[in-house]
Amino acid sequence: MASDDSKVRQAVAAWQQLLGADRVSAAPQGLDGFGDSTLAQAVPPAGVIRARSRDEVVEVVRVASEFGVPLYPISRGKNWGYGDACPVGPGQFVLDLSQMNRIVEVDPELAYAVVEPGVSQGQLHDHLEEQGYPLWNSCTGSSPDASVLGNLLERGFGMTAYSDHAAHACGMEVVLADGTILETGLGNYPNARSRHLYRWGLGPNLDGLFSQSNLGVVVRAGIWLMARPDAFTTFRLTMDRDADLEDAIDRLRRLRLEGTLSSPVFIANAFRSLAQMRPYPWAETGGATPLPRELAESMLRDTRVPGLTGRWNAIGSLHGTRRGMKAAARDTKAALRGLGRVYFTAPSTLDRFQRWGRLVSAIRPKRGREIAGMVEGARPGLDVFRGVPSHQGLGISRWRLRRKVEGRCEDPTAEGCGLYWVAPVCPAKGSEVLRCVKIIEENMLTRSFEPLIRIAAANDRVVFITTLLAFDREDAAEAARAGDCHRELVAKLLDEGYPPYRAGVTEMDLLDPNGSTHWEVVSTLKQALDPGAIFAPGRYEPRTAAGFRTVGGASSGR
Ligand SMILES: Cc1cc2nc3c(=O)[nH]c(=O)nc-3n(C[C@H](O)[C@H](O)[C@H](O)COP(=O)(O)OP(=O)(O)OC[C@H]3O[C@@H](n4cnc5c(N)ncnc54)[C@H](O)[C@@H]3O)c2cc1C
């Protein structure tokens, strides 16, 4: 929807009157980094509005409707590799909800929390720790600064048994386009005592309308937390042959279906494992791309990091009572026999190493420091499986940067990292996974990008083949190739029967290749709930998104 300039000016004036000039800014000044992107091409927002309460959101939405100026709501805007905080099309004002960051409630007995959009996964974890609640929030491999609510609205996934975040959300409060407030689930009964406990409510279940959509602004949601188990361990398995991967997928599926495994298992290829440890070996390759697979595998072997030296490297976790976990560990080890060595690492294993390092350092300080460094490096990778978020996983964003960047990665957009995710949903069958992986590998390697693949076996019947296409945004030619490669691969995977589990802003127009009834019904819902197209036009709205592309909406985001 195009808004003429005078309407935009009037809307900005009205928003400024409501919130104060310091919380409303219009492009090109005042975007405060919100136009920065990890994508090759992104549409910068028309401005930024910062709301601090539900009532402010209602008023902001009313002004937007009155003047016909669209809003793009975000929780914390860390949607890196999918569009960051940038909208799908031009002329949209980011509605930044990061200052609405109250943890409204935690019920330690019924194991749930109610959070506002600005609550980060780090904040929630710290709060649970500080209050001494024996509860875990399922965090993602993204930053501690990423949100809980925005992630679940994108149907993101985390590392614990509650990995499927949208499936563990219960009871939302939503501001609709006319400014009314909808409580989903049982919340429409003001005195309902189970509003954050029973997902289905009565009648049609409306929660699903507000994830991966543009039908409302979610200002609060209940999320279920996992009771902290008595015992917990991670396990790793390295495999050197694709045939072993095929076998492993089938065996892991059986372990999930029989109930031995309830947390996700992640299987990274050699490229992804190497990228977790270091940037692209520009010197060793004389600047040539892509990195030959054999070289990646031999470099990985040379690191001699236990559990990370194979063509395929799996990590998962087990939990339960002490006795239950021991039995699950025994069954898992037996089920994976013959595929490679299975290593178990519990928090107590790292504590033992740490104590040992201290003893060693008294005699051999250098070796002692090495051991301490090893333990320090290994701990975040283990802790993330019990709800402790860290910045460690973001380091992979730097894989193809030519410029050396020191320190930990906290914000890929600020460092010029180029990122696109391709994350097809694939049946949890070894043969299917190999087929899908082959399509990804061929497509990306031909375009000189390494497929940084991590298969997320996070559901009983499907896996997500989450693949990062990393590039250097400062290299314009490489960035253009990355954008093309990404779109071609998404389209190819759709064609081959592997749609993505979630979509980035530059692929929304690809989502309806067959003109399906599904997307027609979605349009009908949009017409009914947001006839003025106030919320995030083009987001999970393939036809509108296609319109933006043909009018040349995409432009550089930096
Ligand atoms: C190295 C790396 C690792 C990653 N690992 C993971 C991972 O393990 N799992 C995972 O899921 N993701 C992962 N990500 C992707 C991403 O960083 C996370 O999904 C992150 O949580 C998204 O950012 P956010 O939480 O700030 O959500 P936002 O960016 O705020 O929200 C995402 C989108 O949802 C919509 N939205 C947000 N809030 C609202 C609202 N209140 N009302 C209506 N619509 C709204 C908006 O369209 C917004 O663009 C990773 C990214 C990188 C770079």
Instruction: Record the tokens describing residue 400, joined without a space.
Output: 């193809």
**Closest C-alpha to ligand 1, atom 27:** 150
Residues of the chain with pLDDT under 50: 1-2, 553, 555-558
**Closest C-alpha to ligand 1, atom 16:** 79
Give the pLDDT confidence of 69-113 residue by residue, as tens digits: 999 999 999 999 999 999 999 999 999 999 999 999 999 999 999
Closest ligand 1 atom to residue 77 Cα is 29
* Ligand 1 center to 95 CA (angstroms): 15
- Asked if residue 142 has its Cβ within 6 Å of ligand 1, the reply is yes
Q: Are 186 and 173 in contact (CB under 8 A)?
A: no
Q: Measured between alpha carbons, how far is 195 from 505 in angstroms, rounded to an integer?
A: 33
Q: pTM value?
A: 0.96
Specify the pLDDT at position 552: 53
- Asked if residue 152 has its Cβ within 6 Å of ligand 1, the reply is no
Closest ligand 1 atom to residue 143 Cα is 17
* Placement of tokens 């990995």 in the chain: 163
Phi, psi of 416 (to 5 degrees): 80, 20
Give the pLDDT confidence of 130-164 residue by residue, as tens digits: 999 999 999 999 999 999 999 999 999 999 999 99
Closest ligand 1 atom to residue 120 Cα is 25
Give the pLDDT confidence of 374-403 residue by residue, as tens digits: 899 899 999 999 999 999 999 999 999 999
Specify the pLDDT at position 304: 87
Give the pLDDT confidence of 464-481 residue by residue, as tens digits: 999 999 999 999 999 999
- Asked if residue 148 has its Cβ within 6 Å of ligand 1, the reply is no
- Asked if residue 504 has its Cβ within 6 Å of ligand 1, the reply is no
**Closest C-alpha to ligand 1, atom 32:** 150
* Ligand 1 center to 475 CA (angstroms): 26
DSSP state for residue 40 in the 8-state scheme = S
> 52, 95, 153: which to mutate for ligand 1, most atoms within 8 A of CB?
153
Q: Measured between alpha carbons, how far is 251 from 257 in angstroms, rounded to an integer?
A: 10
Quick one: three-class SS letters along 273-317? HHHCCCCCCHHHHCCCCCCCHHHHHHHHHHHCCCCCCCCEEEEEE
Query: Cα 203 vs. chain centroid, distance in angstroms?
Result: 31
Q: Measured between alpha carbons, how far is 309 from 454 in angstroms, rounded to an integer?
A: 15
List, as one string, the DSSP characters of 440-451. Answer: HHHHHHHTT---
- Asked if residue 120 has its Cβ within 6 Å of ligand 1, the reply is no
Specify the pLDDT at position 551: 65
Give the pLDDT confidence of 240-257 residue by residue, as tens digits: 999 999 999 999 999 999
Instruction: Count the Cβ atoms, other than its own, within 10 Å of residue 126.
Output: 14
